Structure 1
Amino acid sequence: MRSSVILLLVGISLAFAGKHSLKYFYTSVSGDKTFTATGLVDDVQFMYFGINTKKASPKTEWVREIEESDYWKRQTHLLVEQHHWILNTIWTESAGEHTYQITYGCEWNDETGKTNAFRQYGYDGEDFLFLDLKRDEWISPVKQGFRTQERCNNETIRLVHWKNYLKMDCIETLKKLLTLGKSSLEKTVSPQVSLLQKNACSPVLCHVTHFYPSDITVTWMRNGQELKNVKVGKLLPNEDGTFQKTVTLQTEADEWRKNEFSCVVKHQSKTFRKTLTEKEIRTKNKTAAPFDVTVVVVLVAVILSLSLIIGVIGYFVYQRKLKPALSGSASKCWLSFCRISGYVTANTSPSDSENTSQSSTES
């Protein structure tokens, strides 16, 4: 096993320069007793296990070339055992529907040689327990996990096992997978950068998509200085195997007209800079300049003036036509108009007035 890995590593070239990762995600739900496992190398899924099929299977063509013929059988056996352990240990002590998660993996920078690793457990979406490799101990951030923390730290063999796996075996497996997937994983796709905005009052989004590999830096700059008060979105996968990311800037239109705001994207393929201007910003994939508040105010004033003039003219015309027919029944006409419109006379109680006005509005 160890020798075959070494032979495969000979093919690694500087084309892989940068940080690489191998991650595993296990998820189990107590209610329906489901269990899934996913493996990713450089954020690309290469393995999947589902309890319905009870079989670990490759998700990419290049990973099928793993030399060991029994590799997938061994993976299946380990994951079935993991599922049984969760059923017999975790869910026997829990009532109701809950979620249990295990996340572990390692990182390797082939330029600096620096490595990192992690293993952590989650319960109902919250951190429950993690392995601190610098202190060589398990730590729980919540009171409910203190007993588990103490028990795990007393199991010296288990601690040594995971320490050796994460610092040595995991790194070797990562390097092997990088070699197997070299033709696919070392491809480089330059990102597409767009500045998006729903309307003039909405935040401005720097949307970066269709890039590979996933390692990317997206920042907003104001007059050459990096802004810290921005909202950084999560890295998301696209259907074609590339990635996307969004970083949101909250600023007023007047402010970015008077200053230079730029979205700077750094990817191993290229560095991009998009300066925030009315020409660059887009709304629903169409170029759209922000509304000018002054123009809006003028338009509203003109419309109101025209409405007032039309109303006055209509009133005098109405009075001239109605005056010959008016007599002592004028007060009755006015009272009828009030009732039809939902208004009431002055001697009506406040509660009646409120109810009548509401019914008129609803109708």
Structure 2
Amino acid sequence: MMQHVVLLLLGAHLASAGKHSLRYFYTGVSALNDFPEFTAVGLVDEGPFTYFDSNTKRTVPKTEWMRQNVGADYWDRETQTFTGAHQSFKVSIQNVMKRFNQTTGVHSWQLMYGCELDDDGTKRGYFQYGYDGEDFVSLDKSTLSWTAASPEAVFTKHKWEADRAFAEYWKGYLENTCIEWVQKYVGYGKSTLERKDAPEVFLLQKDSSSPVLCQATGFYPSNIMMTWQKKGEEHHEDVEVGTTLPNVDGTFQKTVTLSVKPEEWKNNRDDYRCVVQHVGAAKNIVVTVDDIRSNPGSDNKIAIIVGCLVGFVVLAVVVGLIFWRKSNGYGRASTKDSDSENSDQALDKVNAKYRIA
């Protein structure tokens, strides 16, 4: 279950050629002994470049270009920021649990914020919180208001709207400071972040009655178009498009699966082909069924790819890369303020960037 949520996150907000992004994911959890109580990870163009957790209590670089371009004062400031966020997250998760009438169990309070800069100068920014894998409250920069995604979030909406300076701070950060840091980070890691690595593409099938996987790996940036074609036309029926996942070397991989009835495959298999488009490839990459690799479990190269993926998923869970994107609403619960929430005012003042829910 946890791995499934992580995979959803990793496939979100794909970077494209000419677009650069900076985003942060914070995750606070309750009653989960196997993981840190709080984690924060920063990503540039979907790749982790900085990491903090409440166990180690320090911020560390995740790329060589960050290690080489910033000094100890940068990491000290980041550690102070994340330490402050950790304290507000501890209180917020307890407050939100009360609003859902929850007293025990594993729960998560999450923040995702960041910005994107296109090569034509277009800018975008976002700041939103989630609870237990669902949207909770988000900032509307145009109106400096907060959007509640459920009845339980209404109290937080009103509480934060009473402090206009909070929304003004984040609007300024997302539209200016964040963009400046995107440009700065891309400058630091230009040779890495602006490279164009073409994918290697191959077909996998366990046996003649199994689905056929078209897998692309080793490509950068992450934006890629993969389709199945039948008789030269795009084929969408019985096709499952996987999420784009990072490899441990900073490149990406993606799989598009074709599942057809054995009889259809037996009679018409030569009509199918996988077509891949990527900025790193001079032309479309076309793979036909003649290139199918049978019994992928015995292929050493595939085993390495799977091993790398599993390793990253484990790392991602620890880091707290969890994102919420579900359509179901929350059940109703009391949104009445409590004495403990009133006592949060002092902590709110200390944490100018992160308010208590």
Q: In structure 2, what is the equivalent of residue 29 of structure 1?
A: 29
Q: In structure 2, what is the equivalent of residue 75 of structure 1?
A: 78
Aligned-residue offset at 1:48: 0.5
Q: In structure 1, what is the equivalent of residue 274 of structure 2?
A: 263
Between the aligned partners of 1:87 and 1:124, the Cα distance in structure 2 is 14
Deviations, residues 53-110 of structure 1 (Å, cap 9, x unaligned): 2111111121124456521111111110000111233325632221111111111112
CA contact (8 A) 2:59 2:75 kept: yes
1:249 aligns with 2:258: yes
Q: In structure 1, what is the equivalent of residue 182 of structure 2?
A: 174
Which segment drifts farther, 201-210 or 267-276? 267-276
CA contact (8 A) 2:137 2:147 kept: yes
Q: In structure 1, what is the equivalent of residue 47 of structure 2?
A: 44
CA contact (8 A) 1:99 1:123 kept: yes
Q: In structure 1, what is the equivalent of residue 18 of structure 2?
A: 18
Q: Cα–Cα, structure 1 residues 132 and 221, in superposed 2: closer, same or farther, change >3 Å?
A: farther
TM-score (norm 1): 0.68
Deviations, residues 290-328 of structure 1 (Å, cap 9, x unaligned): xxxxxxxxxxxxxxxxxxxxxxxxxxxxxxxxxxxxxxx
Structure (1 or 2) with the larger CA radius of gyration: 1
Between the aligned partners of 2:162 and 2:201, the Cα distance in structure 1 is 51
Between the aligned partners of 1:262 and 1:134, the Cα distance in structure 2 is 46
Q: Give the total of aligned pairs.
A: 270
Paired residue secondary structure (2:284): strand
Between the aligned partners of 1:102 and 1:227, the Cα distance in structure 2 is 38
Matched AA of 2:273: S
1:102 aligns with 2:104: no
Q: In structure 2, what is the equivalent of residue 306 of structure 1?
A: none
Q: In structure 2, what is the equivalent of residue 60 of structure 1?
A: 63
Q: Cα–Cα, structure 1 residues 69 and 266, in superposed 2: closer, same or farther, change >3 Å?
A: same
Which segment drifts farther, 130-139 or 156-165? 130-139
Q: Cα–Cα, structure 1 residues 137 and 266, in superposed 2: closer, same or farther, change >3 Å?
A: farther
Paired residue secondary structure (2:76): helix
Between the aligned partners of 2:176 and 2:39, the Cα distance in structure 1 is 25
Q: Cα–Cα, structure 1 residues 187 and 273, in superposed 2: closer, same or farther, change >3 Å?
A: closer
Matched AA of 2:41: T
CA contact (8 A) 1:190 1:210 kept: yes
Between the aligned partners of 2:143 and 2:293, the Cα distance in structure 1 is 50
Between the aligned partners of 1:232 and 1:78, the Cα distance in structure 2 is 38
Q: In structure 2, what is the equivalent of residue 346 of structure 1?
A: none
Deviations, residues 143-170 of structure 1 (Å, cap 9, x unaligned): 2212222332333111111111112111
Matched AA of 1:98: H
Aligned-residue offset at 1:24: 0.8
Structure 2 segments unaligned to the other structure (5+ residues): 1-15, 98-102, 299-357
Q: In structure 2, what is the equivalent of residue 284 of structure 1?
A: 295
CA contact (8 A) 1:260 1:275 kept: no
Aligned-residue offset at 1:246: 0.8
Between the aligned partners of 2:133 and 2:192, the Cα distance in structure 1 is 33
CA contact (8 A) 1:262 1:273 kept: no
CA contact (8 A) 1:262 1:276 kept: yes
Between the aligned partners of 2:130 and 2:95, the Cα distance in structure 1 is 17
Which segment drifts farther, 160-169 or 148-157? 148-157
Q: In structure 1, what is the equivalent of residue 337 of structure 2?
A: none
TM-score (norm 2): 0.69
Flag the structure with more relative contact order, 1 or 2, with Cα contacts below 8 A and sequence separation at least 6.
Answer: 2
Aligned-residue offset at 1:122: 1.4
Identity of aligned residues (%): 43
